C-alpha cells in the first residue's frame, strides 16, 4: 500500500446496516420474523439464540427454555425459529412464560420466592419492568438501606465511590459547608461597603 493511500474507516459495527442474507432454496418457507412474548424475533437464528432478544432471558436461560421446548415438542434446539409452525411458536411462548412447568430448574428463574405471593416465576418484558419498579418503590417507602441508595442515585451493592459515581448522587454536606465558607467573605465585604458612607458622614458632622 502506498503512503498516500489511507485505509478506509470501517465505522462502528453497531451502527452499520445489516447485510442482506440471501435465503437458500431450503429456507423458502422460512418466516423471517416470529412474534414471541410481544417482540419480533429473528427467524433465521436457532431457537437457543433467538430467544435472547427477549428482555429477561439471557444466554443460559434461552438454552434451558430451548431444551425444555425440545423435550415437549421433539423440535431440536438448533432448529431455526422461523421454520417452526405457528402452533409450535405459541407452545414456545408458553414455555417462555411458564418455564418451571416444563422442567426448567428453579435456580435459573429470575423471580424466586416473590415478596407478596412466595411463588417462583420467570418475568419477561413489561412484567419485569413493572415488578422492578414496584420493588424499588417499596424499598424507598420503607427507607431501607437499598431504598435510600436508590433514592440518592448511588450504587446499592457495596461498590466503591471514591473514584466513580461522582456526579450521580445528591449534594453532600461537605460541599454545602465549602459553599457557605466561600459566601462568608463576600457577605463581609458587602457589609463593609454599606457601612463606610455612614462613617464618613459622621466625621463631617
Residue 166 backbone dihedrals phi, psi, to 5 degrees: -70, -45
Question: Does 170 fall in a domain?
Answer: no
Asked if the structure places residue 85 within a domain, the reply is yes
User: Would residue 128 count as lying in a domain?
Assistant: yes
Residues 103 and 135 in one domain: no
| 128 and 94 co-located in one domain | no
Question: Are 86 and 150 in a shared domain?
Answer: no
Same domain, 153 and 101: no
Residue 16 lies in a domain: no
| Distances from the Cα of 156 to the Cα of 14, 136, 147, angstroms | 30, 11, 9
The domain containing residue 70 runs over which residues?
Answer: 27-108
Cβ-based neighbours of 160, under 8 Å, separated by 6 or more: none
Among residues 100, 13, 93, the alpha carbon closest in space to that of 50 is found at: 93
Residue 199 pLDDT exceeds 60 = no
**Are residues 58 and 128 located together in one domain of the fold?**
no
How high is the pLDDT of residue 176?
Answer: 61
Alpha-helical segments (H) within the chain: 47-50, 59-73, 86-97, 125-142, 145-152, 173-204
> Do 50 and 99 belong together in one domain?
yes
Q: Is position 187 within any domain?
A: no
pLDDT tens column, 78-112? 889 989 888 989 999 999 999 999 999 999 999 99
Mean pLDDT for the chain overall: 81
Which residue is associated with the grid cell 442482506? 20
pLDDT band at 167 (very low <50, low <70, confident <90, very high): confident
Is residue 150 a contact partner of residue 168, using CB atoms and an 8 Å limit? Answer: no
pLDDT of residue 164: 87
Structurally, how many domains does the chain consist of? 2
Decide: 123 and 134 in contact? Cβ < 8 Å. Answer: no
- Closest of 71, 68, 44, 73 to residue 57, by C-alpha: 68
Amino acid at each position: 500500500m502506498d503512503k498516500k493511500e489511507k485505509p478506509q474507516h470501517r465505522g462502528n459495527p453497531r451502527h452499520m446496516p445489516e447485510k442482506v442474507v440471501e435465503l437458500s432454496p431450503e429456507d423458502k418457507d422460512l418466516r423471517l420474523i416470529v412474534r414471541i412474548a410481544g417482540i419480533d424475533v429473528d427467524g433465521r437464528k436457532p431457537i437457543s439464540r433467538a430467544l435472547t432478544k427477549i428482555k429477561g432471558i439471557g444466554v443460559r436461560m434461552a438454552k434451558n427454555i430451548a431444551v425444555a421446548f425440545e423435550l415437549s415438542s421433539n423440535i431440536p434446539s438448533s432448529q431455526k425459529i422461523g421454520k417452526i409452525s405457528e402452533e409450535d411458536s405459541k407452545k414456545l411462548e408458553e414455555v417462555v412464560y411458564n418455564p418451571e412447568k416444563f422442567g426448567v430448574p428453579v435456580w435459573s428463574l429470575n423471580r424466586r420466592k416473590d415478596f407478596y405471593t412466595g411463588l417462583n416465576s420467570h418475568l419477561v418484558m413489561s412484567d419485569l419492568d413493572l415488578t422492578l419498579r414496584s420493588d424499588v418503590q417499596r424499598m424507598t417507602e420503607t427507607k431501607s438501606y437499598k431504598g435510600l441508595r436508590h433514592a440518592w442515585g448511588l450504587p446499592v451493592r457495596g461498590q466503591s465511590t471514591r473514584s466513580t459515581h461522582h456526579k450521580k448522587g445528591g449534594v453532600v454536606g461537605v460541599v454545602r459547608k465549602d459553599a457557605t465558607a466561600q459566601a462568608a467573605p463576600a457577605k463581609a465585604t458587602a457589609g463593609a461597603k454599606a457601612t463606610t458612607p455612614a462613617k464618613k458622614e459622621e466625621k463631617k458632622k
